[in-house]
């Protein structure tokens, strides 16, 4: 009678950590409901060297562009979701071009790849239902149109304000508000003059609570982010935009989320009339008394920090420079 070995006949040790094409999956935390994702040092260094070489040569033909795009997407997407998707668009476009010269947009993209490889931390993904309540974040933006008609200042630009309200299961409620810097609106104007930049303002508003509140407000919690602008929601979910200024803002949002190491984030739509962040985004239009009354119902007030997008010369900061301002 033939005998076959069973599982008990031989002890097989399996490593809890596996690597596939530079993406590391660490299963050692599975019993505690956590999966850890990271990028190997070899893959990080390889991609950094590849980007550095083409920056030094000031040349990127379509073949190497295709290779860099594929390697960067495969490195970033499994662990970091949409981080870098917006800034990779110039490299993606170069795959279908016979041009070889490094353009400013390509330089910006390659420079960000280097920064991301060097700085992005491991990601911890939850595998079990949350043990604690969710953190609920509401954001809103208010925007004024560009002045028109006789007597209007020819240099007058649209303006905007943002506000947020955050409900935390143990820390309570927090809120904040702030004005969109004039330098930021000037950047939008230089790309394309529009009557309003409410879409861009809404995207900026989505970043503000995550860089204004201490990390303890978000770390280890599932996050719900509610916005009353469907266009902004679509861009954040896709991780990129064909509109250059929106692409930079969207990339900044996902980098801010990656920096916090959030367990998970759900982004959805809330009608304006049901959005509590509508009030702080309009504090500038209210009397001091009305602001005090509204603010008292929204918990602790925090200073609203907006991402830095403009250089001292009034020019767009690079993807990596914006990311560094978030990292700091």
Tokens of 164: 């947020």
pTM above 0.75, yes or no: yes
Calpha distance 36→124 (Å, rounded): 5
The residues, ordered by sequence, that sit 6+ positions from 25 with a Cβ below 8 Å of its Cβ are 17, 18, 19, 35, 36, 37
* pLDDT in the model for residue 61: 96
Least confident of 75-84, 148-157, 236-245, 318-327: 148-157
Of 316, 288, 270, the C-alpha closest to 140 is: 270
289-304 pLDDT per residue, tens: 999 999 999 999 999 9
* pLDDT in the model for residue 68: 93
Q: Is the pLDDT of residue 223 over 60?
A: yes
For a pLDDT cut of 90, what percent of the chain falls above it?
A: 58
Looking at the DSSP bridge assignments, the partners of residue 175 are 165, 301
Tokens of 179: 């004005």
Of 165, 158, 188, the C-alpha closest to 248 is: 188
What are the boundaries of each domain within the chain? 37-125, 129-327
pLDDT-derived band at 143 (thresholds 50, 70, 90) equals very high
CATH architecture for segment(s) 129-327: 2-Layer Sandwich (3.30)
Q: Strand runs (DSSP E) across the chain, as ranges?
A: 17-20, 23-26, 34-39, 123-126, 135-144, 159-168, 172-179, 222-227, 264-269, 300-301
56-96 pLDDT per residue, tens: 999 999 999 999 998 888 877 766 777 878 888 899 999 99
Direct distance between the N- and C-terminal alpha carbons of the chain, in angstroms, rounded to an integer: 70
């Amino acid at each position: 009678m033939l005998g076959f070995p069973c599982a008990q006949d031989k002890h097989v040790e399996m490593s809890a950590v596996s690597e596939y094409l530079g993406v590391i999956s660490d299963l050692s935390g599975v019993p505690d409901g956590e999966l850890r994702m990271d990028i190997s040092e070899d893959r990080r260094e390889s991609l950094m060297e590849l980007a550095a070489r083409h920056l030094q040569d000031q040349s990127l033909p379509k073949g190497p562009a295709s290779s860099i795009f594929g390697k960067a997407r495969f490195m970033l997407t499994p662990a970091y979701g949409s981080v870098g998707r917006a800034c990779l668009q110039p490299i993606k476009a170069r795959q279908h071009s016979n041009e070889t010269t490094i353009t400013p947009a390509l330089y910006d993209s390659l420079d960000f790849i280097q920064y991301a490889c060097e700085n992005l931390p491991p990601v911890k993904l939850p595998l079990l239902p949350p043990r604690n309540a969710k953190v609920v974040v509401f954001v809103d933006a208010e925007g004024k149109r560009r002045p028109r008609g006789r007597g209007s200042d020819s240099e007058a630009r649209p303006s905007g304000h943002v506000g947020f309200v955050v409900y935390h299961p143990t820390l309570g409620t927090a809120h904040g508000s702030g004005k969109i810097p004039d330098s930021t609106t000037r950047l939008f104007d230089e790309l394309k003059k529009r009557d309003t930049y409410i879409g861009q303002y809404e995207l900026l508003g989505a970043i503000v609570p995550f860089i204004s509140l201490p990390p303890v407000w978000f770390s280890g919690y599932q996050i719900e982010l509610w916005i009353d602008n469907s266009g902004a929601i679509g861009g954040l979910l896709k991780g990129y935009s064909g509109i250059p200024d929106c692409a930079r803002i969207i990339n900044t949002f996902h980098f801010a989320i990656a920096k916090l190491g959030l367990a998970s984030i759900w982004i959805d739509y809330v009608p304006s009339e049901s959005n509590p962040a509508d009030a702080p985004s309009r504090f500038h239009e209210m009397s001091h008394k009305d602001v005090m009354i509204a603010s008292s119902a929204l918990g602790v007030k925090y200073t609203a920090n907006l991402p830095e997008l403009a250089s001292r010369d009034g020019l767009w900061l690079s993807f990596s420079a914006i990311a560094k301002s978030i990292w700091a």
